[in-house]
Amino acid sequence: MSNKILSFKNISKSYSNIVALEQISFDIPKNSIFGILGANGSGKSTFMKILPGLIQNWSGEIFHNGKFVEKNNIKLRDKFGYLIEAPTFYEYLSARKNLEILSRISPNHSLDIDYILELVNLKSRSEDKVSAYSYGMKQRLGIAQCLIHNPEILILDEPNNGLDPNGIQDMIKLIKNLRTEGKTICLSTHNLRDVEELCTHFTVFQNGKNSKTCSMEKQIKNSKTWIVNTKDIDSALEKLKNSDIFEVISVFNKNILIESMEIQSLDDIHEILSDIEIYKISKESNLIGYFDASKTDS
């Protein structure tokens, strides 16, 4: 049986003479955290609105568990939880009332509102009007409304947008927990760290097209970029510059960012820096490369 829970084939969308999406195709594996990476205006949000039917006239095909999904398939929406763009609620109502409204139109297997509020750490503020909430709280409530009908796939559009570092950490933890509960998560972001820290797979959007789809494991394996964290930065720099294998890209704090000509192993770096005290060597995903390319293209 296929591991793909969701497949998109040749998704295109135009607004009068502007092409927003062009022949987007990729597969989302089951129980993955799938990142859609792209610069602002690359078409991520437009794409996110296609599946829930917020955008009507588009072309292409979507498959769920290998089965073709008809456009505006209402029943299928039960299997998805959406957080599209900034979290928006009926601000004059309490968080609980907002969830009650959404629960009422969700399928019968809706989860208990108290349980959901507890999960996103909002139970103590559940009777407050949403207008009194901070952005981070609204974002967490956004996740809560996604979960109310216990969907198998969560579609999150920039879930970390506007959050402070603590909020981002909470969100990352929450998303990872949801994956351990068996859910598949598809999130869009322009933040490379989100993808590196969270995603098991990713695709890159550039000017309405997706250029690359890959697992994060494979991306890191194929990466030629490393960060060396060392005590003796000058000696390490000299040795790396003198080696034929590595090129020094940049130096920051006690870190040296290097790139190899070929795919190298950790042992190669240890061999060159054998007599230098090293704190840590880590391989970088080098997602920035795609991002720069997308900026250059546009």
Partner 1 sequence: MLAKLIHNELIKVLYKRRTYISFLLITVLIPVIVYAIDYGAVSLQNKIYGQMQDSFIFIGTIINGNLAAYLIIAILITHMPFLSTIIPSEIISGEYSKGTFRLYLTRSITRRAVFFSKVVVVFIYTTIMMFYFFFYSLFIANLMLGPGELIVFHKGVLLLSEDDVVWRFFLGCIFSNLVMLTIAYLCLLFSSFSKNSVTPIISTISIVFVGTAISFIPIDIFELIDPYLFTGYIDIFLLAFYYPVPQEVFVQCLVVCLIWTILFILVGYLNFSKRDIVE
Residues that bind partner 1 (CB under 8 A): 46, 49, 52-57, 74-78, 80, 82, 84-86, 88-93, 97, 101-102, 104-107, 145, 149
Q: Which is nearer to partner 1, 88 or 222 (CB)?
A: 88
Could you tell me the smallest distance in angstroms from the CB atom of residue 182 to partner 1?
Answer: 21
Could you tell me the smallest distance in angstroms from the CB atom of residue 74 to partner 1?
Answer: 5
Could you tell me the smallest distance in angstroms from the CB atom of residue 77 to partner 1?
Answer: 4
Could you tell me the smallest distance in angstroms from the CB atom of residue 142 to partner 1?
Answer: 8
Could you tell me the smallest distance in angstroms from the CB atom of residue 113 to partner 1?
Answer: 15
Strand, coil or helix: what is 140?
helix
Residues 6+ apart with CB under 8 A from 183: 31, 151, 152, 153, 154
Nearest to 292 by CA among 211, 213, 196, 172: 211
Long-range contacts of 179-184 (CB under 8 A, 24+ apart): 179/31, 179/32, 179/33, 182/31, 182/152, 183/31, 183/151, 183/152, 183/153, 183/154, 184/5, 184/6, 184/28, 184/29, 184/30, 184/31, 184/32, 184/33, 184/34, 184/152, 184/153, 184/154
Q: Which is nearer to partner 1, 85 or 268 (CB)?
A: 85
Q: Which is nearer to partner 1, 15 or 68 (CB)?
A: 15
- Neighbour-count burial for 29-55, b at 16+ CB within 10 Å, e otherwise: bbebbbbbbbbeebbbbbbbbbbeeeb
Q: Which is nearer to partner 1, 54 or 263 (CB)?
A: 54
Asked if residue 276 lies in contact with residue 283, where contact means CB atoms within 8 angstroms, the answer is: no
Q: Which is nearer to partner 1, 8 or 82 (CB)?
A: 82
Q: Which is nearer to partner 1, 143 or 256 (CB)?
A: 143
Q: Which is nearer to partner 1, 87 or 256 (CB)?
A: 87
Could you tell me the smallest distance in angstroms from the CB atom of residue 271 to partner 1?
Answer: 54
Between CA 186 and CA 72 the distance in angstroms is 19
Could you tell me the smallest distance in angstroms from the CB atom of residue 117 to partner 1?
Answer: 16
Q: Which is nearer to partner 1, 102 or 168 (CB)?
A: 102
Handedness of CA 283, 154, 9, 63 (dihedral sign): positive
Q: Based on the number of CB atoms within 10 Å of its own CB, is 179 exposed (0-12), middle (13-18) or buried (19 or more)?
A: middle
Could you tell me the smallest distance in angstroms from the CB atom of residue 57 to partner 1?
Answer: 7
Q: What backbone phi and psi angles, to 5 degrees, belong to 258?
A: -125, 155
